[in-house]
Amino acid sequence: MKQILVTGGTGYIGSHTVVELQKKGYDVVIVDDLSNSEKNVLDRIEKISGVKPHFEEFNLVDPLKTNQLFEKYPKIEAIIHFAAFKAVGESVQKPLAYYQNNLVSLINLLNAMKEYKVPHMVFSSSCTVYGQPEKLPVTENAPVQPAESPYGNTKQICEEILRDTAKAYPELNTIALRYFNPVGAHETALIGELPKGVPQNLVPFITQTAIGLRDQLSVFGDDYNTIDGSAVRDYIHVVDLAQAHIIAAERLLDANNEENFEFFNLGTGTGSSVLQVINAFEEANGIPVKYKIVDRREGDVEQIWADTTIANEVLGWKASKGLNEMMSSAWAWEKNIREGDC
C-alpha cells in the first residue's frame, strides 16, 4: 500500500483529498498545525472511509520537525502539499506571516524531499496567479500578472521555487494545480468548509446567512462589466477538485509526465456571477438568501473562469458536478454542523 503525505490534511480541500486517497487504497499521513482546522476532522474522515489517517501536529516552518517526520515515515512516496495560510484579505494585513509560513514550509519540504529521496509533490496553487486575465477563458499559458495580494504572491513565488528546483534537481517531480473557486462538501455532509470567524468566501457566507447565523449577505459590487453587474468566478465542487489531486499524484507516481514541473487549471470552464450563485442556492435548496448590494471589495478581479483543455486532455481530468450539486451539498453540510452532528 503506497503511503502519501498530505500536508494541511485536516483542512477543507485536504480532508476531501484524504478521503479520495483512502478510497483508492493509499495509506495517508497528515501533518497539520490545526491553525485553520479542527482535530475532530480525523474522526469524520474515519467515519467516511473506515480508516483513521496517521496524524502529526506541527508547522512545517520548523525544519527539524519536518525532517523528523520523514525519519518517522520512511515509506512516504509522494506529497500533496496544501498547508498554507490562504485568506486574501488577511494576507494584506499580515504579509510577513504569509511569506514566512507559505514559502518556508515549501522550502523545508523540498529540502526534505532531496534528503530523504521523496521525488513527487503535488502543489496547491491558485488562479490568483492570473490576476485579471486579458483574455477569457484563461489558459495555463496566460501571462502571470502582478499578484493582487501577498497571498496570491506567495503562490506565484512558490511556483517559481518549484520551477527552479525542478530544473536544478531532475530527480524531483512536481505538479502545481491552479484552483479556481472550490465550494460544496462531501455527500455525507461529514466534512466541508468550516471557516473560523466571519467567512471571507462567498458560499460559506451564503449558507450561514441561510441558516440564520448572519443577518444578510453583502454582494461586493453590481457595477462590473458582466452579465448582471456582479463579479464572475469559476466555481468547482471540492470533490471534483480532490479527485484531480489523486490523478496528478498518480501521474507522478507512474512517471507519466514529460516535464518535472507541470501546472494545470482546475476549474469547470464555466463562469457564474455572484447573483447567479445566490439564485442557484435558492433554487437548489428552496431557501431565500437575504442580501444587499454594497461597494466592490478591494483586490477583487472582475471576472475569471478557466480554460480546462489541458487539464482535460493532458491530465485526463474533467469536473463533473454542477452548481446545483455544489449548492445542495454546501447547504447539507451547514445544516449538519449546526445540528451538532459533527
Which residues are near ligand WQD by CB under 6 A? 86, 88, 126-128, 179, 181, 200-202, 205, 217-220, 231, 233, 274, 297, 300
Closer to ligand WQD by Cβ: residue 283 or 341: 283
- Residue nearer to ligand WQD on the CB measure, 187 or 300: 300
Catalytic residues, by residue number, are: 151
Question: Least distance in Å: CB of 204 to ligand WQD?
Answer: 8
CA 142 remoteness from chain centre: 21
Structure-derived torsion over alpha carbons of residues 297, 299, 304, 310, reported in degrees to the nearest 10 = -150
Give the nearer residue to ligand WQD in terms of CB position, either 176 or 231. Answer: 231
Taking CA 76 as the corner, what is the angle to CA 74 and CA 81, rounded to the nearest 5 degrees? 135
The burial class, CB within 10 Å (0-12 / 13-18 / 19+), for 302 is middle
* Cis peptide leading into residue 137 (ω within 30°): yes
Residues 6+ apart with CB under 8 A from 254: none
Residue corresponding to grid cell 491558485: 126
Q: Which is nearer to ligand WQD, 119 or 184 (CB)?
A: 184
